[in-house]
Amino acid sequence: MTEVLETRGLRKAFGALQATDDVSLTLRAGEIHAIIGPNGAGKSTLIGQICGTLPPDSGSVHLNGVDVTGLSTQARAGRGLARTFQISQLAMEDTALQNVLLGAVGASKRAWRFWRPALRHADLRDRAEAALARVGLDGHAATVTAELSHGQRRQLEVAVALTLNPQVFIMDEPMAGLGAEGSARLTPLLDSLRQEAPILLVEHDMDAVFALADRISVLVYGRIIASGTVEDIRRDPAVRDAYLGD
């Protein structure tokens, strides 16, 4: 399988605290790779290093075989690294459709030399409507975002990301704050999204992780202590001790 994203030996210290410590992982075409671990394990730090908001002390990040470690967040986004859910960037007073359009146009401004060729040929509104339909919000194009449920806003964030033709989705706790019903709606959407682009999924909701992940890596004190299939991880005694707690 093709490796779309790869990290090699990522490290980041905050003072005396080693937040990530030699993290090497891959994300392959078509898969969902979940990163699990207790609070403070370094999951968000790792995501920041991958997306370019936190420069690593050492190590490198590769996107489709290209070393992007020296590139800005915007340049990585322009190469198809789509980060969702960390902080909602939706404009609450605008409609769902306007948010998708703004996302597409905003991306074109932020990284316009990457997007200009696509924009010249594409009808933005068609793409925005297709993205809304893709996430199951076609009936809500004209709904003001503030009136959408929490779960529907997560679906909308996916639609915004989709207009950027993502190569990779990076998701930090998409299920956080959703009730059982919201998680149950988002799970099949994420399940099908891996067809468009593989997903690096940081998630605490273990039901969702076990339902979705092709591979799981367990991060504890900044280090990956185990990596494997759902069954491998469920059976791993070190993981049970350190994290699953039984």
What is the binding site for Mg ion (CB under 5 A)? 43-44
Contact 84, 190 (CB under 8 A): no
Query: How many residues of this chain interact with ligand ADP, rule: CB under 6 A?
Result: 11
Interface stretch with ligand ADP, choices 32-40, 101-109, 132-140, 182-190 (CB under 6 A): 32-40
Residue 11 near residue 18, CB atoms below 8 Å = yes
Min dist CB 47 to ligand ADP, Å, is 8
Interface with ligand ADP includes 37 (CB under 6 A)? Answer: yes
* The token pair that represents 25 in the structure block: 């992982």
Closest by alpha carbon to 190, among 214, 158, 163, 215? 158
Q: Does residue number 59 form part of the binding site for ligand ADP (CB under 6 A)?
A: no
Sole residue written with tokens 């990530």: 20
CA 155, 95, 76 angle in degrees (round to 5)? 55
CA distance 86 to 75: 18
* Choice from 4, 5, 10, 19 touching ligand ADP (CB under 6 A): 19
Q: Does 86 bind ligand ADP (CB under 6 A)?
A: no
Is 47 or 162 the residue whose CB approaches ligand ADP more closely?
Answer: 47
The correct pick among 24, 28, 30, 44 for binding ligand ADP (CB under 6 A) is 44
- CB nearer to ligand ADP: give 80 or 222: 222
State the nearest-atom distance from the C-beta of 137 to Mg ion, in Å: 27
**Residue 228 to residue 46: CA distance in whole angstroms:** 19
C-beta of 162 vs 219, nearer to ligand ADP: 219
Angle between helices 124-134 and 150-162 (to 10 degrees): 140
Q: Which is nearer to ligand ADP, 158 or 219 (CB)?
A: 219
Sign, CA dihedral 191-99-172-137, equals: negative
Secondary structure of residue 208 in the 3-state scheme: helix
Q: Provide the binding-site residues for ligand ADP, judged by CB under 6 A.
A: 14, 17, 19, 37, 39-45
